[in-house]
Amino acid sequence: MRLIAALLATALLAVPPAMAQQRPLIWGDTLPATLDPHAIFDVPSQFILLNAYDGLYRYQGNPPQLTPWLVERHTTSADGLTWEFTLREGVKFHDGTPMTSEDVAYSFRRLLAMNRAPAAAFSPVLKPEGISTPDERTVRFVLSAPYAPFLAALPLVAVVNAKLLQANTVNDDWGAAWLAANDAGSGAYRMDPATYRTRTSLDLERFAEHFLGWAHNRRPIDQVRSRPIMETSTRVLALLRGEIDAGDSYLPTDQVERVERNARTRVQKDESMRVFIIRMNNRKPPFDNLDARLCFAHAFNYEGFNTIILKGLVVRNAGPNPNSLWGNPPNLAPYAFDLAKAKEHCDRARAAGSPIGREIEIHIQSELEQTTQAAQMFQADLRRVGINLKIVPNTWANITAATARAESTPDTWIHWVSSYFIDPENWIGQMYDSRFHGTWKASSWYRNERVDAMLAQARGSLDRAERERLYQEATRIVVAESPDIWVYNTLNLRGVSRRVQGWNFSPVGSGGELRTLWLEN
């Protein structure tokens, strides 16, 4: 008892332990719910995908360039159905096993069998029997229909160590239970399963034998500690205090100046490809009426939101595709905030019998402050044209579940569309082709047969010029019909310690690739 009392007294009177002078990189961004790269598909999972695994291709730089990664070259048949990839030599997994075409084939078969979201980009055109391995370095995919975004979507798929997973497979689960907390990759960093606690901690160690070598980085980071901090305010304070070296890529705009002013920290600002959007349920009156939608499109104060609330740290985006992506029509004019025009359209909608006077719900994601700010501003301006907007706090999980049916999809809701693969298919293709109805991406339930036909044709064509023309035309029609309200394209804002150098941002993964980073003493 005396010993405990003495210990307590010593501890309470002592000064806090001093911080070590040299530390590994402490990464404060969110960890995904699982380490299995085929089981989950969201922004946090990109951290695992980019650092612990490799894919056939990878996006590098900004604007992102599709770069051959595990492959040396590829060929495509004239009909666009057969794709053959020749793998690099000398690629090793973290356990030393050489990577072969069997691992690639196994990875795609596993992805299709598990049928989680990354599979959505492939499952309509690729079946397990369409994957073959003519030799150790060649993998062949035979698609059931031409699919132009095939190459662009390849970076979504991590290549896993087939032998290791087969050894850890239980009840035909493709090793899912094991891989949820283990490493079967070849990426530049090796995960330490012993340190893994779901969404709480994970240590990574540099993989010296990574196939690209380390000549590009004189002082690569050897140890990385991933320590996600859930609460934004605590994350910012921890960064300012030097407890973490990087926060997430959603630094609130009102914290930018504070982080910049701090001697220890700075803000890494990069134009990304993440479009902020207010969805309207085009199946539900009044949004089945074009004038009602135009009324809403003119009632949002774009300039006020982007310049005042977000302090000019975003770029106005006129349509569904990010500004910097190909396939946008030249001189696409964005909708302007004009309450007189909004009222005019509202009056027209009312005259046509549209129930624009009813209470209209806007669902926000409670934990994301910007969605609240946008909704509150929209509510105030719509009130000036006689529209009653009710703000409904909600969560991403609930809203996306509700978008499975038009009847349960909210009247309006707010979200971002991030870049998973760099192709108009990721935005306009999946948002406004009615074949995707029932997914959250197509939750405005917009239908235009001409647009459907153009998007399908663009998806099946391998002629880039033709695809560009089709996407431009489809974008013009969609923007004119205003199914949604497109607000801005994101500037990726990540608070980082000044000692972190060698930043290599790419919109895919929000700059979470560690390979090029180094620490200044």
Partner 1 sequence: MARYILRRVLLALPALFGLVLLTFVLTRVIPGDPAATLAGDSATPAQIADIRARYGLDRPIWEQALVHVKQVLTGDLGSSIFSGRPVIEEIGFRLPATLELTFFALFLATAIGIPLGVVAALNHNGPVDQLVRLISVGGLAIASFWLALMLQLVFAMEWDVLPLRGRVEVELGTPPLRTGFLLIDSLLAGRLDQFRDALWHLVLPAVTLCLPGLASIARFTRSGMLEMLQKDFVLYARAAGYGRFRLYAIYVLRNAVTVTVTQIGLLFGALISGAVAVEAIYDWPGLGTYAVQAILSADYKALLAVTLVVGVVYAAVNVLVDVVQALVDPRVAEDIR
Residue 295's CB: how many other CB atoms inside 10 A?
Answer: 29
What's the 3-state SS for 430-479? HHHCHHHECEHHHCCCCCCHHHHHHHHHHHHCCCHHHHHHHHHHHHHHHH
The radius of gyration of the chain from alpha carbons, rounded to an integer in Å, stands at: 25
Q: Give Cα 92 to chain centroid, integer Å.
A: 28
Q: In the stretch 434-473, what mask flags binding to partner 1 with x, by CB under 8 A?
A: --x-xxxx--------------------------------
Interacting residue with partner 1 among 1, 2, 5, 19 (CB under 8 A): 19
Q: Please, which residues have CB within 8 angstroms of residue 432's CB and are 6 or more apart in sequence?
A: 320, 442, 444, 446, 448, 451, 455, 474, 478, 483
- Per CB under 8 A, the list member of 66, 237, 391, 406 interacting with partner 1 is 237
Smallest distance, partner 1 to C-beta of residue 382, A: 25
Q: Which of 37, 41, 159, 484 binds partner 1 (CB under 8 A)?
A: 41
User: Please, what is the minimum distance in Å from the beta carbon of residue 309 to partner 1?
Assistant: 22
Kindly tell me which residue out of 29, 40, 47, 71 binds partner 1, with binding defined by CB under 8 A: 40
Who's near 110: CB < 8 A, 6+ residues apart? 38, 160, 165, 174, 175
Q: Which is nearer to partner 1, 16 or 213 (CB)?
A: 16
Question: Does residue 194 touch partner 1 according to CB under 8 A?
Answer: no
Question: Directed axis angle between helix 290-299 and helix 369-383, to 10°?
Answer: 110
C-beta closer to partner 1: residue 10 or 521: 10
Sole window of 227-235, 274-282, 328-336, 479-487 interacting with partner 1 (rule: CB under 8 A): 227-235
Smaller CB distance to partner 1: residue 31 or 294?
A: 31
Task: Identify which of residues 103 and 203 has a Cβ nearer to partner 1 in the complex.
Answer: 203
Q: Which is nearer to partner 1, 116 or 316 (CB)?
A: 116
Closest CA to 419 of 48, 34, 156: 156
- Span 402-421, contacts to partner 1 by CB under 8 A: 402, 404, 418, 420
Residue 155: strand pairing partners: none
- The DSSP bridge partners found for residue 203 are 192, 225
Exactly one of 109, 227, 264, 348 binds partner 1 (CB under 8 A); which one?
A: 227
Tell me: does residue 489 bind partner 1 (CB under 8 A): no
Q: Are the C-beta atoms of residues 280 and 348 closer than 8 Å to each other?
A: no
For residue 91, what are the contacts with CB-CB under 8 A and spacing of at least 6?
Answer: 54, 70, 98, 99, 186, 211
Cis check for the bond before 155: say yes or no (omega within 30 of 0). Answer: no
Q: Out of 231, 254, 257, 463, name the contact with partner 1 by CB under 8 A.
A: 231
Nearest CA among 47, 260, 67 for reference residue 154: 67
**From CA 165, how far away is CA 177, in angstroms rounded?**
10
Applying CB under 8 A, the site for partner 1 has a residue count of: 66
Q: Residue 437 CB, nearest distance to partner 1 (Å)?
A: 8
Of 81, 120, 142, 377, which one interacts with partner 1 (CB under 8 A)?
A: 120
Nearer to partner 1 (CB atom), residue 127 or residue 269: 127
Residue in 427, 404, 421, 402 with CA at minimum distance from that of residue 478: 427
Q: Which of 133, 324, 372, 400 binds partner 1 (CB under 8 A)?
A: 400
Region near partner 1 per CB under 8 A, out of 302-310, 329-337, 373-381, 432-440: 432-440
Q: Which of 44, 118, 149, 319 binds partner 1 (CB under 8 A)?
A: 118
Three-state DSSP class for residue 410:
coil
- Examine residue 77 and tell whether it contacts partner 1 (CB under 8 A): no
Residue 41: CB minimum distance to partner 1, A: 4
CA neighbor of 426 nearest in space, from 178, 155, 175:
155
Q: Which is nearer to partner 1, 15 or 333 (CB)?
A: 15
CB 261 to partner 1: min, Å:
14
Task: Determine the residue type at 200.
Answer: T
Taking the complex as a whole, the smallest distance from the CB of residue 343 to partner 1 amounts, in Å, to 34
Structure tokens at 428: 């306009």
The CB-of-90 to partner 1 minimum distance in angstroms stands at 32
Q: In what order do the strands lie in the sheet with 412-417?
A: 315-316, 484-497, 265-280, 412-417, 360-365, 389-394
Q: Which H, E and C letters describe 90-146, residue by residue? A: CCECCCCCECCHHHHHHHHHHHHHHCCHHHHHCCCCCCHHHEEEEECCEEEEECCCC
Peptide bond into 410 cis (omega under 30): no
341 binds partner 1 (CB under 8 A): no
Stretch that binds partner 1, among 35-43, 136-144, 297-305, 346-354 (CB under 8 A): 35-43
The residues of the shown chain that bind partner 1, judged by CB under 8 A, are 7-8, 10-12, 14-17, 19-20, 23, 26, 33-34, 36, 39-42, 115-121, 123, 176-177, 180-181, 197-201, 225, 227, 229-231, 233-234, 237-238, 240-241, 243, 367, 395-398, 400-402, 404, 418, 420, 430, 436, 438-441
